[in-house]
Amino acid sequence: MNMMENLKTRKIIIAIALSLVVAGCKAPMATVVRDAVKENLPQNFNQGELQDVNANSGTTPWRQFFTDPNLVSLIETALKNNQELLITLQEIEIAKSGVLYKKGKLSPTVAAKLGAGVNKAGRYTSEGAGDATTDIEPGKEMPDPLGNFEGGLMANWEIDIWKKLRAEKEAAVAHYLSTVEGKNFVLSNLIEEVADSYYELLALDNQLDIMQQYIKLQERALEISKIQKQTAAATELAVKKFEAELAKSKASAYTIRQEITEKENGINVLLGRYPQPIVRTKESFMSTIPQTFYTGIPSQLLANRPDIKQAELELKSSKLDVEAARKEFYPSLEISATLGLEAFKPSYLVKIPESMAYNLAGELAGPLINKSAIKANFQTADAKQIQSLYEYDKTILNAYLDVANLMSKVKNIDQYYKLKSEETLALDQSIDIANQLFKNSRADYLEVLLNQRDALDAKMELIEAKQKQLSTVVDIYKSLGGGWK
């Protein structure tokens, strides 16, 4: 009868335990958000205008895209020494270590153990009474206090029954791959920044040459005004105006020189070195023809742009983090074992099998009460997953808009450069005419000054237009995903 009652009691306890485990296994579901931005990505960058699927400058290696040997040399130095890039490389190493850590949790942990201690139990306790009556060797009393010496192996293993640990490892792998794409994005940005700064430096060189030519022109005009004053063909006011214009031009030249120094130093910072001259050839700048580029189709951005791939991998990592956090609600199964030698006296350790000690235990434990920490961890992971999705969508949208805006800019800057060239040519001719009229006292000095200033402004703007032409093509190359290959 007692055996029957004990059996029923055990069944009731088991049923209650199973019901509690099942109740504790209830886990919330992750939020599912529809990725509308990726699904609705346009087929072309300009509506109604078809792009060639097989032609995409974003896949062109940067050494083939840039042909200026001086620029290529600067980029190569930057890729070796740039501090931001070196920092990014260490982030990759950190992420790689994270993968190894998560992978290691899938395997059992084995440790060696050596220990020594002493224990004094009360005489009138069950432990003390047992020690006092134990007869290990005839005629010898048990030592008091009793020592303990041990050595052996300990193992612990969490069985991944819900694949939670695998999800954590896969999340770490996705994060590692995202850091690799992050490095590629830094590469692409670095190459773009070096090229843009190089063209800006060449533009400043050419603007300084134009300013120096303008200074010589002002010096000749000042000499003519002084001669005309002596012959009463001009007044002291004309002389002072030309002197003021000359001083202003010389001051502007010093401003450009300072900008050149700062731009050179800026490039040197990108190259990870102290200030030194930047090797360049300024004479061919205005005759440089921008590289021809091909945009391909918008969907190719998903594969070519490293920032989009980085955001996609971070989204994948965050989804796996949510899955791992969700499985924290389930019971975990751990197996622990120990095997070694243990005795109260070191000389007894070699007496086998008497000194052998071992232990094997399995533990299935699940959260039942006060699951607020697990819930908070899951809610945090779920929110980060949604955040990663929005970040991914934002990256795709910005990438598309970058290319679309730059395509329009390339067309408009080409027309702007063409018209500025025509303006510069016309104003150069007007300067010659104004100077001739001034020499013959048929034009006022103000007409000469205004013509010269207009011509100077037009030439400066023409140089800026050439710089924008070249930089815009570099920018669209980077926006298409070029530069890191």
Q: What digits encode the pLDDT tens for the residues 429-472?
A: 887 777 676 666 666 666 777 788 888 999 999 999 999 999 99
Q: What is the pLDDT of residue 7?
A: 59
3-state helix, strand, coil in the chain (%, to 5): 65, 10, 25
What is the C-alpha to C-alpha distance for residues 245 and 215, in angstroms, rounded to an integer? 9
| 275 torsion bin: left (phi>0), alpha (psi -120 to 50), beta (else) | beta
Over residues 191-241, the pLDDT tens digits come to 999 999 999 999 999 999 999 999 998 888 888 788 878 877 667 887 888
Rounded to the nearest angstrom, the gap between the alpha carbon of residue 239 and the centroid of all alpha carbons in its chain is: 59
Provide the 8-state DSSP code for 347. Answer: G
Residue 12 has pLDDT above 60, yes or no: no
- In a 13 Å sphere around the CA of 382, the CA atoms on its Cβ side amount to 15
Task: Give tens-digit pLDDT for 317-339.
Answer: 999 999 999 998 888 889 999 99
Among 53-62, 281-290, 340-349, the minimum mean pLDDT is found in 340-349
Q: What is the pLDDT of residue 444?
A: 65
Alpha-helical regions (H) of 69-163: 69-81, 83-104, 126-133
Q: Confirm if 168 and 352 have CB atoms less than 8 A apart.
A: no
Report whether pLDDT(21) > 60.
no
* Amino acid identity for residue 375 in this structure: K
Average pLDDT of the residues of the chain: 87
What is the enclosing helix (H) or strand (E) of 470? helix 445-479
Say what angle helices 164-230 and 69-81 make with each other, to 10 degrees: 140
> Residue 209 CB: number of other CB atoms within 10 A?
16
User: Given this model, what pLDDT does residue 1 score?
Assistant: 47
* Predicted model pTM: 0.84
Q: Best-predicted range by mean pLDDT among 47-61, 109-123, 437-451, 467-481?
A: 467-481
List the one residue out of 280, 353, 343 whose CA is nearest residue 74.
280
C-alpha radius of gyration, the chain, whole number: 40
Residue 366 phi, psi (nearest 5): -135, 155
**The pLDDT value given to residue 229:** 80
CATH of domain 110-159+334-365: 2.20.200.10
CA distances from 269 to 62, 82, 83, 95, 255 (A): 21, 8, 9, 27, 21
Residue 366: exposed, middle, or buried by beta-carbon count in 10 A (0-12, 13-18, 19+)? Answer: middle
Buried b (16+ CB within 10 A) or exposed e, 134-152: eeeeeeeeeeeebeebbeb
Tell me how far apart the alpha carbons of residues 38 and 31 are, in angstroms, rounded to a whole number.
18
Domain spans in the chain, listed from the N-terminal domain onward:
31-107+162-331+376-480, 110-159+334-365
Other beta carbons within 10 Å of 5: 9
Model pLDDT, residue 313: 96
Q: What is the pLDDT of residue 9?
A: 58
Which tokens hold the place of 94?
A: 């950190």
CA angle in degrees (0–180, nearest 5) for 62-66-67: 135
In CATH, which superfamily holds the domain spanning 31-107+162-331+376-480? Outer membrane efflux proteins (OEP) (1.20.1600.10)
Four-point Cα dihedral 394, 399, 401, 404, nearest 10? -160
- Would the pLDDT of 15 be above 60? no
Could you tell me which residue, 430 or 52, shows the higher pLDDT? 430
Residue 34: how many CB atoms within 10 A of its CB? 8
- φ/ψ of 95, rounded to 5, equals -65, -35
Lowest mean pLDDT among 64-73, 293-302, 394-403, 437-446: 437-446
> Is residue 143 a contact partner of residue 267, using CB atoms and an 8 Å limit?
no
125 falls in which pLDDT band (50, 70, 90)? confident
